[in-house]
Amino acid sequence: MNILIAARLAFARIIATKTRSGLTMLGIIIGVMALIALVSVAQGATSGIQDQFKGLGARNLTITGTTNQSITVDDVIEIAREPGVDIVSETVSGRATISSNQASTRAQVIGVDSDYITVVDPDIFVGSFLPNVENTKDARLIVLSSSLASDLELDAYSINSTIAVGSTEFTVVGILDDADGFGSQGSAYIPLDTAFKYVAVPPYLSSITVQTINEEIVPEVTANLTSLLKARHNISGEREADFVIVDASQLLDAIGTVQQFLSLLLGGIASISLVVGGIGIMNIMLVSVRERTREIGIRRAIGAQQSQILTQFLIEAIVLSLVGGIIGVIIGEIVAYFLAQLGQWNFALSPTMILASLGFSMFIGVVFGVWPARTASKLKPVEALRFE
């Protein structure tokens, strides 16, 4: 029998038994909806983080000491001489009590050099970042993150006001916009030499940020700097290095892995409900085959081959699961859209995901439709005709 006629018959049946078909499809609808919505959450949430990392600069790599006394200002001088290195920015950090007239809190105070603004490019909410302080290296100027500013009950009008770091007075020159600044929340920034004077011990640094001349040579520079620093720190053979070099690609890779894992995990959970939906279809199809024994008998009597009966019932199961899948995709995308609004990440229709969901629901229809369809095709015509 023509597949088209079988499909039309299947649609006619689904419409004729609306309530039952709807309830049967519900399992698939919920399964596909969950699959689409959960995977979009996994991808949306992590792609937001990925974008933030990309903001860090793909040309950058960061060297961090594993102890407080690992990397020094002398390392910076050597690093700057390496080929492929464009800019080197050094930071130190320490914790200190910061007090305004209204409030007081302990915070991370980071000492940065004049290249920091070029390499990291922080977003300014009000005022400016630390000005070029070559002439007054130990200027007592400070830039606050907005969360720290609010902890200290300062606002946009507090520019040029005075706060205390420990017992030393500093002038506030700017407040940062934390919203998409990565890792800067709750910190204050002061000039490097000022930091060495008040919160850190020279010549030890907490991190060095290196900007290479282009993205392609990042791995090569990473390798060169590793051997350079190992030699300088007298580390050889199997001994663990006292520093870690991280570039953006590694972070992006790590996030990519997290994203894949999350998608698989959430998708896997949703797939279970799809399988359960498939069992629902099988159940109803078995009932349907029993109810329609007489019809199958008539069809066999007037010349339907076993294969044609099998096709008819299989198509019915596939149409059920596919229609359920289509409804599930539509609802799932709507849910994903609202979740994206809620979580403030970009909503994107993924054709791959939609096709995969539809493919999977069709697959479920075939897998769970085969048994009922076989049962129908194996009915003996004589007995099926006599069935009341």
Partner 1 sequence: MAAVVEMSNVTKTYGEGSSIVKALDGVDIRIKKGEFVAIVGASGSGKSTMMNLIGCLDRPTKGVVKVAGEDLSELNDKKLTSLRNYAIGFVFQSFFLLPKTDALDNVATPLFYRGVPAKEARFRAMEMLTKLGMEDRYSHQSTELSGGQQQRVAIARALVTEPSLILADEPTGALDSKTGKQVMDLFADLNDEGKTIVLITHDLDVAKRATRRITLKDGKVINDERDKK
Pair of tokens at residue 362: 């069709």
Give min distance, CB of 262 to partner 1, in A: 46
Does position 4 interact with partner 1 (CB under 8 A)? The reply is yes
Does position 16 interact with partner 1 (CB under 8 A)? The reply is yes
Number of residues that bind partner 1 (CB under 8 A): 23
Q: Which of 101, 118, 306, 341 binds partner 1 (CB under 8 A)?
A: 306
Of the pair 186, 381, the CB lying nearest partner 1 is at 381
Does position 80 interact with partner 1 (CB under 8 A)? The reply is no
Omega prior to 122 cis, within 30 of 0: no
* Cβ atoms 336, 369 nearer than 8 A: no
Does position 24 interact with partner 1 (CB under 8 A)? The reply is no
Does position 275 interact with partner 1 (CB under 8 A)? The reply is no
Does position 2 interact with partner 1 (CB under 8 A)? The reply is yes
Distance between alpha carbon 226 and the CA centroid of its chain, in Å? 30
The beta-strand segments (E) located in the chain are 60-65, 71-72, 85-99, 104-112, 124-127, 141-144, 162-165, 168-176, 187-191, 204-205, 207-212, 243-247
Q: Which of 302, 344, 351, 352 binds partner 1 (CB under 8 A)?
A: 302
Q: Which of residues 170-209 bind partner 1 (CB under 8 A)?
A: none
**Options 234-242, 253-261, 276-284, 300-308: segment touching partner 1 (CB under 8 A):** 300-308
The SS3 assignment for 293 reads: helix
Pair of tokens at residue 106: 């302990």
Does position 300 interact with partner 1 (CB under 8 A)? The reply is yes
Of the pair 15, 342, the CB lying nearest partner 1 is at 15
* Cβ atoms 111, 137 nearer than 8 A: no
What is the gyration radius of the CA atoms in the chain, in angstroms?
33
**Options 102-110, 111-119, 152-160, 302-310: segment touching partner 1 (CB under 8 A):** 302-310
- Which positions touch partner 1 (CB under 8 A)? 1-2, 4-5, 9, 12-13, 16, 294-295, 298-306, 308, 381-382, 385
